[in-house]
Amino acid sequence: MSSASAGDPSTLGAGPFGLPIDAALAAATRERLTAVEDLLREAVHSEDPLLTQASRHLVEAGGKRFRAMLVLLAAEFGDPSAPGVVPAAVVVELTHLATLYHDDVMDEATVRRGEESANIRWTNTVAILTGDYLFARASDLLADLGPDAVRIQARAFARLVQGQIQETVGPAETDPLKHYLQVIADKTGSLIAVSGHLGSLLAGASPAVVDTLTSACEKIGVAFQLSDDILDIASEGEEFGKTPGTDLREGIRTLPVHHVLAGVGAGPDDERLRYLLTQDLTDDKLHAEALTLLRAHPAMEAARSDLRRWSDDARADLLSLPDLPARDALLGLCDYVIVRKN
């Protein structure tokens, strides 16, 4: 148990995702997130009314601001009030939002964050160009943060695109599970790693601390995606924010499915489940059957074990950092990612 969660409750505040952390850190983080939100709204403004409206569409739809929050926590290992910290948080959030516009076009999505997706509300062209605009605005902010920050972001973006290409092409001759984990690391982990990297770097943390936070944040990012995989199957109703089994219906092979197809465990009706997972599951009856069988399969526990391993690896990195309230908050995230329900 971290020192924050073991401490006097009167000294704790509501931190990231409602985690109990040092009250002063909670208050400072909320204040800086407000500054992030203000700059984010300013950054997406355009002289063109349609572009402004489309750019604000996802900003105003909300979201956890997870990446921005990690930037702020990482900055606590240096000077959290350093002038580049809030702009860096906005950069990673803008980049993340830009990828969502592009993802929705590629996936032909109709809903994003409970709202009609931009490609449906307007057109694919408007959604793509809006994503491009957000990338441009992120680059503009980056230019003021120095060449190192530009290089860090550019390399992460290259990984992100590489991951998207790899996911589109498929595993080819490589191990499907290994391919899947690499896609997650590139598509999701890379940008979350940037949060830890830029936050600590721009706050003036030591090189060793910067390296450790970069590594830990990437692992936390992978763990969050793995928990999404598990929740998509295990959640009931709409508590997860989307219909259970959405990935199954769309033919997306996530971690539990990979384990079943690789022969991990031997659940009841294993042969039937393996057959169903190679079929078109847009049919409601087949989808419901596959979801029920998958929930009962040992592959789910294997996936949870993988999730715990990634979380534990991130925790091991974090425990080498100075014992600060921000470390407690990050350690709390390692716990949260395992027990989260949404």
User: What is the C-alpha separation between 273 and 293, in angstroms, rounded?
Assistant: 6
Q: What's the pLDDT score for residue 8? A: 35
Q: What's the pLDDT score for residue 9? A: 32
Write the CA distances from 103 to 6, 88, 227, 310, integer angstroms: 41, 23, 20, 25
Range with the largest mean pLDDT of 208-212, 229-233, 271-275: 208-212
Q: What's the pLDDT score for residue 88? A: 97
Assigned architecture for domain 206-342: Orthogonal Bundle (1.10)
Question: How much of the chain exceeds pLDDT 90, in percent?
Answer: 62
On the question of pLDDT at 293 being above 90, the answer is: yes
pLDDT in tens, 191-204: 999 999 999 999 99
In a 13 Å sphere around the CA of 229, the CA atoms on its Cβ side amount to 29
User: What is the C-alpha separation between 34 and 239, in angstroms, rounded?
Assistant: 27
Tell me whether the CATH fold assigned to 14-204 matches the one assigned to 206-342: yes
Helix axis angle for 190-202 and 85-107, nearest 10°, is 170
On the question of pLDDT at 41 being above 60, the answer is: yes
40 is written with which tokens?
Answer: 């984010």
pLDDT tier at 10, thresholds 50, 70, 90: very low
pLDDT, mean of residues 12-18: 58
Supply the CATH classification number for the domain 14-204: 1.10.600.10
pLDDT tier at 42, thresholds 50, 70, 90: very high
For residues 71-94, one letter each, b for 16 or more C-beta atoms within 10 angstroms of the residue's C-beta and e for the rest, the string is bbbbbbbbebebebbbbbbbbbbb
pLDDT in tens, 235-256: 876 554 567 888 898 888 999 9
Q: Domain ranges in the chain?
A: 14-204, 206-342
In sequence order, what DSSP letters do the residues of 234-252 get, joined into one string? H--TTTTSS-TTHHHHTT-
Lowest mean pLDDT among 7-21, 195-209, 326-340: 7-21
Mean pLDDT of the chain: 87
Instruction: Write down the pTM of the prediction.
Output: 0.89
User: What is the C-alpha separation between 157 and 163, in angstroms, rounded?
Assistant: 10
Q: What's the pLDDT score for residue 242? A: 63
